[in-house]
Amino acid sequence: MDNPKDAKPLEMPPVLAHVQAAVDKLAACETIKAAIEAVKRDDEKTLVDQIAITEVEAPPFHEEVRAKDFVRRLEELGLKASIDEEGNVVARRAGKGNGPTLVLAAHLDTVFPAGTNPKVRQEGNRYLAPGISDDARGLAAILQVLRTLQEFKIQTIGDILFVGSVGEEGNGDLRGSKYLFNKSGIHIDGFISVDGVNVNRVLCGATGSKRYRVHFDGPGGHSWNAFGTPSAIHAIGRAIAKIADLQTVSDPKTTFTCGTIKGGTTVNSIAAHVEMELDMRSAGAKELDELEARILPIFEQAAKDENARWGYKDEDGVKLTLEPIGHRPGGGQKDEVSVLQAARGAMAALGIPLYSYAFASTDHNVAVNKGIPATTLGGGGKEGFNHNVKEWYEPVDAYQGPQLAMLTSLVLVGVEGVSEPVLEKRA
Amino acid sequence: MDNPKDAKPLEMPPVLAHVQAAVDKLAACETIKAAIEAVKRDDEKTLVDQIAITEVEAPPFHEEVRAKDFVRRLEELGLKASIDEEGNVVARRAGKGNGPTLVLAAHLDTVFPAGTNPKVRQEGNRYLAPGISDDARGLAAILQVLRTLQEFKIQTIGDILFVGSVGEEGNGDLRGSKYLFNKSGIHIDGFISVDGVNVNRVLCGATGSKRYRVHFDGPGGHSWNAFGTPSAIHAIGRAIAKIADLQTVSDPKTTFTCGTIKGGTTVNSIAAHVEMELDMRSAGAKELDELEARILPIFEQAAKDENARWGYKDEDGVKLTLEPIGHRPGGGQKDEVSVLQAARGAMAALGIPLYSYAFASTDHNVAVNKGIPATTLGGGGKEGFNHNVKEWYEPVDAYQGPQLAMLTSLVLVGVEGVSEPVLEKRA
């Protein structure tokens, strides 16, 4: 998403002194300065990577081919890379030792089904292909960070774990990120995802969501002959009416909607089945759980009320099935969190104004929910029609993306002889 | 529908004396006795008609070809037949004069779309084809009545109007019958429809129905970004919950159901549209109107409540559209009504027990609603899978259908020199 034309830099308290000190030391270091320049010099190289990655299909739940390609690219740049059980590509660039571990990630998957033509087409300075921005740009940006660290033999203190994640989009339900934090056994102290292009935006929090497909099934019957039989549609109507009047807190923002509904077969039949998709979201993890705990019993009660209305026992009447179809954990972070501070410090040093400081739902959700400092940064350039086959990318000041990802990472993990890590080691 | 295996004759008060007297006179008349025998003799001829009629397509709203065919068949039997503006075939067999006018009808339309193969297939004594029973049997039965009256030159006192009606099924919404009674200008004193096969059933009343497709349309939006926008699905849920708790009278039986629902586009969008099909029925005309008057305002209020919940003005929020999709007028009749008495008297004379005396929704609805004595009788034989391409017919004692239709009609219109009309002339 581009910035609005009248975007103004946000006014925020200054970056914490120890973070600013680390930024200043790195910005004054000749090697780091040269590395930052090299990212700009390699702008075309990053774009070539981006186009090549785009043309390797990565449909939802089938990122294998792109994953193997990404392993090869990381290994060509000198890292040992592997694919974990969930399908994530993971490659560690070791620090000097005893430092924190930062993940620098971008997601492998696109929203496009297998068979969608991924061939990139150029029109002037615009490159068009499904997924070219989201998130081939992020993958190319973190490769460029690695290329530069390797070229300048920058010895970090902490480790940087380069990750190509699976299942960030839609029904992928953050499965790659969830595996990384919940099952991989890898110790992680901080997390940066490069997703989208906007370098003027720092994502400071994670919108959590829980989604259910709610089914009601009943005996059904002819509207006249079987009148007196509980109706699946009547039952769900009872639930929706109550949900419609729920009040939620505005801070942290907490929302709900009954998004889709379908049921019944003919106008003159008592509906035997209806299903509805429910979306619940919150910027607060606790508030999301509370909302869920308020809404789910409403469905159970609605079935009971509908059955009682007609004198039916629950076992003979309308029955409820709750099918979870999505859970993106969420939460907020303090502005003082190291990853957010490092990102803002790096932006200032690179002359990139901060226009937006916001919540969204990305791979960083899982980290934020677990209290691990995390953000999502833009990969640089301009984009349009994301999640649409007309998706396009323009490499306008594109190098700012990998520059920002690199400098933020270095502030966090520290550079030997230059700066101490800002990222805290977790217990 | 076949009778249940354990069906028992209903116990009802005896037929009124003057009706029984007319039945007895006809049953004792040699010509009438011979005519009744001739119907049995012509059993095969009736079946040949039925098969031929079945094989002339008559999809909903396009009964023209079968209508022309039916005109030809009536004219071959010596009547002048015409097709009215709605598409009904009408042919009058004049009585001696100054008697009542009885309509003897069957419906031309089937439920099957154009292009459905109407070819009749025989398996043993079973004949299979879409519409072979419903209502090709009825059409063949009334043709057989005409054939017999002509053969025996039976001079009735009142007129019999032979009618092939259009639009009896589904969305046809009784348009043929409505035209006949409301717009044709034809004076009618009584009405018999031959529909279905069951000769052991007399339909004594008309289930009325009113149907609406209910639409709610609102602004829609993203479930997170646009939270606070009224939802079409939430609005309709509010309405359904109230409808679900409505109480209706059981005598006359009065029913309702929200039969189908669909709306919304994705789980994470506030629904901009939802639509639902509502069915309301009653054996009482007044009760149906009352139910409608209770339910319709609930929808209007639901839109207002949903808009008010989010502080929206009604012009900016969710809006209601009520689309009427069906109106079948209904009502009950006293057991003493001439057409019902005549049918019961004729059944007894023909040795056909009465197993069922019920309400349903057929072409007779319009008449019953207007206070014109009416019933629906079976065409004889056995049937299965009506309204399904697997529909079948078995000519078991099939002649009983046209025998019953003929004798009931003669009781009502009277036969010169034998019996006076039982059917009252309306003002």
For chain A, the distance separating the N- and C-terminal CA atoms, rounded to the nearest angstrom, is 37
Relative orientation angle of helices B136-151 and B43-54, to the nearest 10 degrees = 140
Q: How many CB atoms lie within 10 A of CB B361?
A: 21
* pLDDT tens series, chain B, 427 aa: 456 677 889 999 999 999 999 999 999 999 999 999 999 999 999 999 999 999 999 999 999 999 999 999 999 999 999 999 999 999 999 999 999 999 999 999 999 999 999 999 999 999 999 999 999 999 999 999 999 999 999 999 999 999 999 999 988 999 999 999 999 999 999 999 999 999 999 999 999 999 999 999 999 998 998 999 999 999 999 999 999 999 999 999 999 999 999 999 888 889 999 999 999 999 998 999 999 999 999 999 999 999 999 999 999 999 999 999 999 999 999 999 999 999 999 999 999 999 999 999 999 999 999 999 999 999 999 999 888 889 999 999 999 999 999 999 999 999 999 999 999 999 8
Top residue of B169, B209, B216, B223 to mutate, by most chain A CBs within 10 Å, is: B223
Top residue of B245, B268, B365 to mutate, by most chain A CBs within 10 Å, is: B268
Question: B226: nearest CA in chain A?
Answer: A255
Tell me the three-class secondary structure of chain A, residue by residue. CCCCCCCCCCCCCCCCHHHHHHHHHHHHCHHHHHHHHHHHHCHHHHHHHHHHHHCCCCCCCCCHHHHHHHHHHHHHCCCCEEECCCCCEEEEECCCCCCCEEEEEEECCCCCCCCCCCCCEEECCEEECCCCCCCHHHHHHHHHHHHHHHHCCCCECCEEEEEEECCCCHHHCCHHHHHHHHCCCCCCCEEEEECCCCCCEEEEEECEEEEEEEEEECCCEECCCCCCCCCHHHHHHHHHHHHHCCCCCECCEEEEEEEEEEECCCCCEECCEEEEEEEEEECCHHHHHHHHHHHHHHHHHHHHHHHHHCCCCCCCCCEEEEEEEEEECCECCCCCCHHHHHHHHHHHHHCCCCCEEEEECCCHHHHHHCCCCEEEECCCCEEECCCCCCCEEECCCCCHHHHHHHHHHHHHHCECCCECCCCCCCC
Query: Is B240 within 8 Å of A239 when comparing Cβ atoms?
Result: no
**Cross-strand partners of A262:** A275, B262
Query: Which residue is listed with tokens 């009736």?
Result: B46
Kindly write down the DSSP assignment for every residue of B214-240, as one continuous string.
Answer: EEEE---EETTTTTTS--HHHHHHHHH
Tell me what pLDDT residue B170 has. 84
Question: B213: nearest CA in chain A?
Answer: A267
Query: Is B260 within 8 Å of A267 when comparing Cβ atoms?
Result: yes
> What does the pLDDT average to over A116-134?
97
Dihedral sign, Cα of residue B356, residue B361, residue B367, residue B372: positive
Tell me what pLDDT residue B171 has. 85
| Residues sharing a CB contact under 8 Å with residue B95, sequence separation 6 or more, in sequence order | B155, B156, B157, B158, B159, B160, B413, B414
Contacts of A260 in chain B (CB under 8 A): 233, 263-267, 271
Question: B236: nearest CA in chain A?
Answer: A237
| Cα-based distances in Å from B155 to B143, B159, B188, B190, B364 | 17, 10, 19, 18, 26
CA distance B59 to chain A (A): 19
CA distance B34 to chain A (A): 41
ipTM: 0.82
CA distance B230 to chain A (A): 9
Query: Is A271 within 8 Å of B259 when comparing Cβ atoms?
Result: yes
Structure confidence at residue A170 as a pLDDT band (50, 70, 90): confident
| pLDDT single digits (tens) A360-395 | 999 999 999 999 999 999 999 999 988 888 999 999
Question: A276: nearest CA in chain B?
Answer: B267
Residue A294 has pLDDT above 90, yes or no: yes
- Nearest CB partner across the interface for B264, out of A223, A261, A267: A261
Query: Is B244 within 8 Å of A277 when comparing Cβ atoms?
Result: no
Tell me what pLDDT residue B373 has. 98
Q: β-strands B190-194, B101-107: how paired?
A: parallel
- Nearest CB partner across the interface for B279, out of A223, A260, A276: A223
Question: B253: nearest CA in chain A?
Answer: A224
Query: Is B281 within 8 Å of A223 when comparing Cβ atoms?
Result: yes
Question: B309: nearest CA in chain A?
Answer: A245
Contacts of A236 in chain B (CB under 8 A): 237, 240
| pLDDT single digits (tens) A196-238 | 999 999 999 999 999 999 999 999 998 898 999 999 999 999 9
Query: Which residue is listed with tokens 């990750």?
Result: A163
Contacts of A256 in chain B (CB under 8 A): 223, 227
CA B157 – CA A60 distance, rounded (Å): 80
| pLDDT single digits (tens) A19-73 | 999 999 999 999 999 999 999 999 999 999 999 999 999 999 999 999 999 999 9
Query: Is B267 within 8 Å of A274 when comparing Cβ atoms?
Result: no
Tell me what pLDDT residue A134 has. 94
Structure confidence at residue A163 as a pLDDT band (50, 70, 90): very high
Tell me what pLDDT residue B3 has. 67
Q: What are phi and psi of A419, to 5 degrees?
A: -145, 150
CA B311 – CA B314 distance, rounded (Å): 9
Query: Is B309 within 8 Å of A244 when comparing Cβ atoms?
Result: yes
